Amino acid sequence: MPSTPCSAGPLAPNEGATNRFPARCACRTFDCHELSLLIADAAPTIDPDPVVATSHRHPQWLFLVVLDGDQWMEVEGRRLRIERGRMLMLPPARMHRPLPQRGMPTQLVLLVEDSWLVALASTQELDLEALRAPMLKPVEGHEVLAVAERLAREHLGRLPGREAMLRLLAEQLAHLCLRALAERPASARTARLVEQAVVYVETHLAEPLSRETIASHLGVSRATLDRLLSARLGCSSRELIYRSRLARARALLAHTECSITEVAAECGFASPSHLASRFRVAEGCSPRRYRARLRRG
């Protein structure tokens, strides 16, 4: 699988440094169809002629876990400091480059094919669309860090069965990285998308509305839209439209002098009789009787 390492060339080790892993040159550990693993390991030092990496992108998802030291990266024009115990995730095709710095930290880079990660996300019932933005995630104390450190040790140990163990651990790390990312940032993005969906529906009630129009406005698939709404509101897009139209109808009947025909048109019902039939199911009475009951107190 073609890929470009996300670290500058290795620097000469400094005898006084205290890296938790022995100094090694950066090397590609292995490549297979779905995963590519790189472990860069060198003790901090001052390089008189540092290698300056050019900006590049990968067709795969990139997970970078720093095991020792700090890594400075430029991601789409933003400078990021990735400390030990933090993980950087980049979706496919995001421009980035490591910045020149004092030495190179011990870091692990895992590249994962998009199709493989999509399939993995579906087995964990995770919304991958909500993760398609660069993200810096603390993983101190998380299984991610423990497995990444075990991977580094397995690579350096050169024990029998090394290749098989590296593959198993790399797959486990991909699962854990995805789970770690989905724990909080995904829910925050889900909340924003759901809020946008609700606002869009409420401001377009008089117009034809459908799952397709809402999903297109948000830039997500129809299945993703319904999954987000179900997770946050416990309803589908169709139910959201229905509830919003009834809520607007109740407000207009209670606080305006609009006729039943005008209420139906304002709320997006096909006709007054359509409004009346929906209203009887929800309220147990006609719109006219609902208004009269409110005004009687």
Fold of 27-183: Jelly Rolls (2.60.120)
Region of 77 (left: φ > 0; alpha: ψ -120 to 50; beta: rest) is left
Encode pLDDT of 151-163 as tens digits: 878 877 777 877 8
Across the range 235-259, mean pLDDT stands at 90
Predicted pLDDT of residue 204: 94
At residue 186, the pLDDT reads: 44
Residue (of 211, 160, 181, 43) closest to 112 by Cα position = 181
Q: What is the largest CA-CA distance in the chain?
A: 88
Query: According to the model, what pLDDT value does residue 211 have?
Result: 95
Region 123-149: mean pLDDT is 72
Nearest to 38 by CA among 144, 117, 110, 145: 110
Q: Tell me what the mean pLDDT of segment 136-144 comes to.
A: 68
Superfamily for domain range 245-295 = Homeodomain-like (1.10.10.60)
pLDDT at 206: 93
The average confidence (pLDDT) of the chain is: 76
> Does pLDDT of 73 surpass 50?
yes
**Where is pLDDT greater, at 62 or 10?**
62
Query: Rounded CA gap, 256 and 287, in Å?
Result: 13
Cα(97)–Cα(118) distance, rounded to whole angstroms? Answer: 25
Domain locations along the chain: 27-183, 187-238, 245-295
* Per-residue pLDDT, 183: 60
Phi, psi angles (nearest 5°) of residue 22? -60, 145
Inform me whether the pLDDT recorded for 258 exceeds 90.
yes
pLDDT of residue 110 exceeding 60: yes
Ranges of H-type helices in the chain: 114-123, 143-157, 162-183, 185-202, 211-218, 222-233, 237-255, 260-267, 272-283, 287-295
Is residue 173 scored above 80 in pLDDT? yes
Inter-axis angle of helices 237-255 and 272-283, nearest 10: 100
For the cut 80, the answer to whether the pLDDT of residue 133 exceeds it is no
Whether the predicted pLDDT of 245 surpasses 60: yes
pLDDT greater than 90 at residue 205: yes
Mean pLDDT for the stretch of residues 88-113: 81
Give the percent of the chain with pLDDT over 70.
74
pTM as predicted = 0.51
Ranked by mean pLDDT, which of 135-139, 170-174, 236-240 comes out on top?
236-240
Half-sphere exposure of 127 (CA within 13 A, CB side): 26
Q: What angle do CA 231, 204, 281 make, to 5 degrees?
A: 65
> Tell me, what's the pLDDT at 19?
34
pLDDT at 47 over 50: no
Measured CA to CA, the distance from residue 31 to residue 166 in angstroms comes to 11
What whole-number percentage of the chain has pLDDT above 90? 21
Distance CA 270, CA 206 (A): 10
Smallest Cα–Cα separation from 220: which of 192, 241, 240, 199?
Answer: 192
